[in-house]
């Protein structure tokens, strides 16, 4: 028996549109983000029998998930551990501003190396533990042979896959996720199967019209 998880990155936020780093910054969806949120929700509602919806409490994830919640008449279960990595003083800054203020961090970021330790930043180890706690909580809450939707963030989904695949070396980002993308993971008792990664075909022409 398996537990199927539909992993959805939130749709485009206003901060995404402006090129700002978010972390725990609460940024609402852009107009395009709302369009994409409707499209991903229609796909999921049409293709899968979802029994539960879990969601990061950050507003860009909640707004994305709300469309599916309304379509399926299912409540959102908020889980703080699904939040993006806390970037502390970097939140809200553009990459240009980070380059000016914290050049050593921007260099690591641009070259996909682990971020140097900095006051206010959630460490990669802390983030990994928190994300694993979210995974365990969700899997403990759902029934075998169920399909569950999980709305979260690019960094969170990256860390989920790294934890499942036991990837501990390499760059900060092993997997990247587009806004409103769908990734599917089947979790069995002794192994995990990655079924689909970062799929956006449901966005169609709307994806080509990104701001």
Q: What is the pLDDT of residues 91-140, one digit of tens each?
A: 999 888 988 888 777 677 677 777 777 788 898 899 999 999 999 999 99
Q: Assign 209 a pLDDT band (cuts: 50, 70, 90).
A: low
Q: What is the pLDDT of residue 16?
A: 96
What's the Rg (C-alpha) of the chain? 17
Q: Assign 201 a pLDDT band (cuts: 50, 70, 90).
A: very high
Q: What is the pLDDT of residue 103?
A: 79
Residue 18 gets the label, from left (phi > 0), alpha (psi -120 to 50) or beta, of alpha
Count of domains for the chain: 1
Task: Compute the Cα dihedral for 60, 179, 149, 171 and give only its sign.
Answer: negative
Q: What is the pLDDT of residue 206?
A: 59
Catalytic residue list: 10, 84
pLDDT, mean over the chain: 92
Q: Which domain holds residue 26?
A: 3-88+123-208
What is this structure's pTM? 0.92
Q: Does the pLDDT of residue 207 top 80, yes or no?
A: no
Q: What is the pLDDT of residues 24-48, one digit of tens each?
A: 999 999 999 999 999 999 999 999 9
Q: What is the pLDDT of residues 67-95, one digit of tens each?
A: 999 999 999 999 999 999 999 999 999 88
Q: What is the pLDDT of residue 121?
A: 87
Count of CB atoms situated within 10 Å of the CB of 92 = 15
Q: What is the pLDDT of residues 133-178, one digit of tens each?
A: 999 999 999 999 999 999 999 999 999 999 999 987 766 778 999 9
Asked whether residue 38 is domain-assigned, the answer is yes
Would you call 181 helix, strand, or coil by DSSP? coil
Residue 12, exposed/middle/buried by CB under 10 A (0-12, 13-18, 19+)? buried
Q: Who's near 176: CB < 8 A, 6+ residues apart?
A: 154, 158, 198
Asked whether residue 26 is domain-assigned, the answer is yes
Can you give the CATH number for the domain in which 157 is found? 3.40.50.1240
Q: What is the pLDDT of residue 171?
A: 67
Cα–Cα distance measured from residue 95 to residue 88, given in angstroms and rounded to the nearest whole number: 15
Question: For 27-66, b where at least 16 C-beta lie within 10 A, e where not — what string?
Answer: bebbebbbbbbbbbbebbbeebebebbbbbebbbbbbbbb
Asked whether residue 116 is domain-assigned, the answer is no
Asked whether residue 66 is domain-assigned, the answer is yes
Q: What is the pLDDT of residue 211?
A: 44
Question: What does the DSSP assignment read for 192-204?
Answer: EEEEEEEE-GGGH
Q: 208 versus 115: which is more confidently predicted?
A: 115
Asked whether residue 42 is domain-assigned, the answer is yes
Asked whether residue 98 is domain-assigned, the answer is no
Asked whether residue 192 is domain-assigned, the answer is yes
């Amino acid at each position: 028996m398996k537990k199927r998880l539909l992993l959805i990155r939130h749709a485009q936020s206003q901060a995404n549109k402006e090129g700002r780093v978010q972390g725990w910054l609460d940024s609402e969806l852009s107009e395009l983000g709302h369009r994409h949120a409707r499209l991903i929700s229609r796909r999921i509602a049409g293709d899968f029998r979802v029994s539960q919806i879990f969601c990061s409490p950050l507003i860009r994830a909640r707004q994305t998930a709300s469309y599916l919640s309304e379509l399926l008449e299912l409540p959102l279960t908020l889980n703080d551990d699904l939040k993006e990595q806390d970037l502390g003083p970097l939140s809200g800054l553009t990459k240009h501003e980070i380059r000016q203020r914290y050049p050593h961090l921007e260099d690591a970021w641009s070259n996909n190396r682990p971020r140097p330790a900095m006051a206010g930043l959630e460490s990669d180890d802390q983030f990994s533990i928190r994300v694993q706690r979210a995974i365990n909580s969700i899997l403990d809450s759902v029934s075998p042979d169920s399909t569950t939707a999980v709305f979260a963030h690019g960094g969170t989904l990256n860390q989920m896959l790294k934890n499942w695949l036991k990837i501990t070396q390499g760059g900060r980002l092993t997997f990247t996720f587009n806004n409103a993308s769908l990734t599917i993971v089947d979790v069995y008792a002794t192994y995990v199967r990655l079924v689909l990664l970062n799929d956006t075909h449901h966005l169609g022409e709307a994806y080509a019209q990104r701001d």
